[in-house]
Amino acid sequence: MATDRNEPLWERLERPSPAPRQTLSPRRIATTAVAVADAEGLEAITMRRLATELGVAPMAPYRYVSSKDDLLELMVDHVYTDLRLPHGHDWRPSLRALAVRTRELMIRHRWLARLPPQAKLSLTPNRMTVAEQALTALDGLGLDADTMMGVFRAVDAYVHGAMSYESAVSTLVSEQSLSGGAELRDELAPLMMWHMRTGRYPTFEHYLHTAARKDDASWQFDLGLDCLLDGIATRLGI
């Protein structure tokens, strides 16, 4: 049975299957695709590769996903099952948990930082649940709807911006078979030394010689996050 490309993926998947038994399921498809992406990156994900990993005919996955875009949505929704916020309505612990747990999710699944725009903006059930929980934590503080959404998006944007950089460093270290940040800096040293010799960047040079947490991505993330949350609290008086 072919899928209707004009019908939303999630509407289609909520309908009961007409067949009493299925070799495939959305969960099995998502689990298999996520495992491939975790091991080999998004580039390894194709419908043909998926069918091979599932041990089914090439057209079998099309009963559930009509394209790679659908498949990416299914994968995103599957991994976001693990992201839930603490119960309660205290906004700061809830939004801090949102940021920290999203970072942890993106470390486990590095491909999340490299999704195409459509998949990054996909409205999947589990992502909608996370957004609902975050907005609920902000509800009742006297904020209007636009401000609540602005705060939620500010935290979300901080996480994805930080992880975009962290993911790029991780990818470069892996691709060049380096042991970590120290070896990466050694690779970049000739160019960096040229910049420093120009004398144009004295504050950056001070950082290079005195910073003690250059490779502590978790500390850097937490500091930036707390600065953001402090700013939100001060700006909005909450």
Rounded mean pLDDT, 116-135: 93
Rounded mean pLDDT, 105-117: 93
The tokens describing 70, both together, are 């659908």
Per-residue confidence (pLDDT) for residue 10, from 0 to 100? 80
d(CA 186, CA 215) in angstroms, rounded, equals: 13
d(CA 174, CA 130) in angstroms, rounded, equals: 31
d(CA 78, CA 32) in angstroms, rounded, equals: 11
Are the C-beta atoms of residues 113 and 159 closer than 8 Å to each other?
no
- What DSSP designation does 90 have? -
CATH of domain 85-180+215-236: 1.10.357.10
Per-residue confidence (pLDDT) for residue 174, from 0 to 100? 85
- Cβ neighbors of 191 (< 8 A, separation 6 or more) are none
Residue 82 pLDDT more than 90?
no
The model's confidence at residue 34, banded by pLDDT at 50, 70 and 90, is: very high
Rounded mean pLDDT, 64-75: 93
The model's confidence at residue 11, banded by pLDDT at 50, 70 and 90, is: confident
Q: What are phi and psi of 25, to 5 degrees?
A: -155, 160
Residue 119 pLDDT more than 70?
yes
Q: Where are the domains of the chain?
A: 9-79, 85-180+215-236
Are the C-beta atoms of residues 204 and 192 closer than 8 Å to each other?
no
- Cβ neighbors of 169 (< 8 A, separation 6 or more) are 181, 184, 217
pLDDT digits (tens, 9 = 90+) for 176-211: 888 888 999 999 999 999 999 999 999 999 999 999
Per-residue confidence (pLDDT) for residue 20, from 0 to 100? 46
Residue 19 pLDDT more than 70?
no
Rounded mean pLDDT, 61-77: 92
Rounded mean pLDDT, 204-229: 96
Per-residue confidence (pLDDT) for residue 86, from 0 to 100? 86
d(CA 84, CA 165) in angstroms, rounded, equals: 24
pLDDT digits (tens, 9 = 90+) for 140-184: 999 999 999 999 999 999 999 999 999 989 888 888 888 888 999
d(CA 49, CA 34) in angstroms, rounded, equals: 12
Task: For the domain made up of 9-79, give the CATH fold.
Answer: Arc Repressor Mutant, subunit A (1.10.10)
Q: What are phi and psi of 152, to 5 degrees?
A: -60, -45
- The tally of CA atoms less than 13 A away on the side-chain side of residue 7 is 13
